[in-house]
Amino acid sequence: MENETSRRGFLASTTVAAAAAGALQAPAAPAPAPDVYARLGIRPVINGVGVVTHLGGSLMHPEVTRAMEDAARCFVPLTELQAKVGARIAELLEAEAAMVTGGCASAITMGTVACVAQGDPEKLKRLPDTSGMKNEIVQQKKHRGGYEQQMMLVGARIVWVETKEELERAINDRTAMMFFYNEMEPEGKITRHEWIEAGKRRGVPTFNDAASDATPRERLFQYQKEGFDLVAFSGGKAIRGPQCSGILMGRKDLIAAALPGFNPYASIGRGMKVGKEEMVGLLAAIERYLKADHDGEMRELESRVTEIRDGLAGIDGLTTERYMPPIANHVPHVLVNWTEDACLLSTGEVTRKLMQGDPPIAVSGFGERRLKISVWMMQPGEHRLVLARLRAILKRA
């Protein structure tokens, strides 16, 4: 009865929201949880945050799950499969070479392995003991995003810089790699083109962590063409491959140096295992992504943003904005702002109420009285559920 009551209340609030929005179509009731989750007592969430790991990244398309199911039916040599899949991905993305990793974080580690051990079997065996090896990674202070540990796992030490002058002084005969966190470029004082130029001139490999930057599609090609020696993307975000997959691509010698440090070898990367299903699934996802109607998908996202903004219009003290992140997750979002006079609830209180409802709705806080709503990973019609619930919460408060 509790679920039924909440559903009736939810539908009632939906009717109010749809009427207030004029042309808005009333959303359907939330779908029941799939058996696999219902048996565990877990309620699926409407994802208004985006392609974030803690919600499962993204949802795979049917052709990707079919490819993974097919891959699961046979045994194959993993080293041969990695080589063949990597070669095909490199061909598709116009790179010298590529490999499938266990997420983008794994790609960071394996890129570091390549630059530190340089493919030397004896050095690979010793990791994370890097004594006598090049073991310093140069990184901008403003690019500190929490992924440094992926490099430190290898035994590397981070050398922090802020200016071009500090960068030049930091590079020495112990420098193994220069790490660039693509999303944070606007925060740093050294642009990616200056980073690449310094690396080329000083003979140090440059690495670009572009995990969530596969939109627009052209960015899958852009950074390697600009001159980065290694580029990493998440496989389970915009590309919508398996969540535990990533792409490391770039110079052929560096990819060759990374592979023997990875699964299935008894090496430092053994725990970052990538199965045959993930390799095949990621390849299928990339093939689909490159052929997809991205213009049509963008029009759909813009329509959802407009519909939410129109549905929230007219509430005193509340304003909305269309927001497009400049680099990572470069798709349209909705920012919702309200004054204390309009609603006493804080951002945290609104997000908690959204998560406590049926179905739970996850959105991002973006300030004291400000929300960021990503419509990117919502299923058809879910943006209307979000609109109805948000209107009800804000108006009630």
User: What pLDDT shows up at residue 77?
Assistant: 97
Mean pLDDT across the chain:
91
Check residue 35 and give its pLDDT: 85
Number of H helices, E strands in the chain: 15, 12
Question: What is the per-residue pLDDT across 284-297, written as a single tens digit (0 to 9) for each?
Answer: 999 999 999 999 99
Residue 216, preceding peptide bond in cis (omega within 30° of 0): yes
Domains parsed from the chain with CATH numbers: 2-44+293-396 (3.90.1150.180), 62-291 (3.40.640.10)
- CB 358 within 8 Å of CB 7: yes
- The DSSP-derived string for 91-155 is HHHT-SEEEEESSHHHHHHHHHHHHHHTT-HHHHHHTT--TTS--EEEEEGGG--S-HHHHHTTT
Question: For residue 1, what pLDDT is reported?
Answer: 32
Pairwise CA distance, residues 138 & 164, whole Å:
12
Q: In the numeric block, which tokens belong to residue 212?
A: 């969530």
Q: Residue 338 — very low, low, confident or very high, per pLDDT cuts 50/70/90? A: very high
Distance CA 293, CA 267 (A): 41
DSSP string, 304-345: HHHHHHHHHTT-TTEEEEEE--SSTT-S-EEEEEE-TTT---
pLDDT tens sequence across 118-142: 999 999 999 999 999 999 999 999 9
pLDDT tens digit sequence for 299-334: 999 999 999 999 999 888 899 999 999 998 999 999
Per-residue pLDDT of 237-256, as tens digits, reads 999 999 999 999 999 999 99
The 10s digit of each residue's pLDDT in 185-218 is: 999 999 999 999 999 999 999 999 999 999 999 9
Could you tell me which residue, 26 or 124, shows the higher pLDDT? Answer: 124
- For residue 396, the model assigns a pLDDT of 80
Q: Note the pLDDT of residue 32.
A: 62
Name the nearest CA neighbour of 262 among 108, 135, 130: 108
Q: What is the pTM of this model?
A: 0.89
